[in-house]
Structure 1
Amino acid sequence: MIKGKHREAFADLVLEAMERQEPDAPKAKREKRHHRFSTMPAIIALGMHIRHDHKIPVIEQEMTVAAGAMNVLNALHAEGFGGMWVTGPFCEDRVLLDALGLPEPGRIAGFIFVGTPEKVIEDRKRPDIDDYFAIWKGETIVFGADAD
């Protein structure tokens, strides 16, 4: 977790990683990312210590991290906090990963920004679940989201 006086220094590390991974990123995007990392009350780094030689397949190890992150987000929202999961090419930066104690083959699944919403967050329109859900009945399924 990154919080308090350490946020500014960490935001600088993120910006350096972003400059290495996305050298052509617009200045506004770099500034927004630095601002968010330096001002969020708390930031949770979602580290993954993936073991390629383990009996549990890599994809299951990755999905475990994702499921854990979703549980953290749900718990934050249930307690009245706000949480937002962010990623980007900067998450692949080896210097940043090493600074977070994630040497090879360690990776990061992103960061969860934690704070208290200043206003009621309105729910946005979600895709129709029928386009992504099906019951298999012995024939090939075509999802509505994939139809032309």
Structure 2
Amino acid sequence: MNALDALLNRVSVTRLLAPAPTQAQRQVMFQAALRAPDHAQLRPWRFLCIEEQARERLGELYAQALQTEQPEATGEQLDKVRAMPLRAPLLVVVIASPKEHPKVPRMEQLLSAGCAAHGLLLAAHAQGVGAVWRTGEMAYSPVVAQGLGLTAGEEILGFIYLGTPEGKLRTAPLLEQSDFVSDWPA
């Protein structure tokens, strides 16, 4: 798949099955992620791969977070969050890891880490791997951050779910550029 095809046709794939991406596919995805724009070459990101039984442990961490943040959570709610990591054979946690720098503000580093995640998504799509970037309340939970070993100043930007697409991919919507692009001054 050429670069423009990947850029113009990537879609989120929410129904993912085993197998997970191969090691060779993962290597390409992470190499693409590492090509993100990066002022001062700070590499303000890192990734955690979660698969097999570790997904169940992540589900338990989610349940612990929910119980901490919502002590009145029902058994049904706890079961729902426990099952969330099981929606794909591989999850990649995208972690922004900003560095102190006199010329590169934290926001710029967060954007760079987001670009790294987008590069990973594009490389997955280009290889036929299904992927979706999810956030939700667990991405912002201090309990989850601590359980995943984040250090002070780091934050979860999202969970990228990866696997084999179930069924046919949907078609990317064609948006009207004039709704988003204008000349200045108008």
Q: Does TM-score exceed 0.5, indicating one fold?
A: yes
Match of 2:116 in 1: 68
Q: Deviations over 1:42-85 (max 9, x none)?
A: 0000111123x423111110001110101100000110110000
Aligned residues: 137
Q: Secondary structure at the match of 2:110?
A: helix
Aligned to 2:101: 54
Cα deviation, residue 123, structure 1: 2.0
Output the TM-score relative to the length of structure 1.
Answer: 0.78
Name the aligned partner's letter for residue 35 of structure 1. A
**Runs of 4 or more consecutive aligned structure 1 residues displaced over 4 Å after TM superposition:** 21-33
Q: Determine if contact 1:3/1:41 at 8 Å carries over to the other structure.
A: yes
Structure 2 unaligned blocks of 5 or more: 1-48
Cα distance in structure 2, aligned partners of 1:25 and 1:80: 38
Q: 1:114 aligns with which of 141, 152, 162?
A: 162
Partner Cα distance (1:109, 1:102) in 2: 12
Unaligned stretches of 5+ residues in structure 1: 140-148
- What is the CA–CA distance in structure 2 between the aligned matches of 1:26 and 1:77, rounded to whole Å? 37
Provide the TM-score with structure 2 as the length reference: 0.64
Q: Is the 8 A contact 2:132 2:161 kept in 1?
A: yes
Cα RMSD, aligned residues only: 2.5
Residue 128 of structure 1 is matched in structure 2 by 176
Q: Percent identity?
A: 27
**1:137-148 to 2 correspondence within 5 Å?**
138-139=185-186
Equivalent residue runs for 1:37-48 within 5 Å: 37-48=85-96
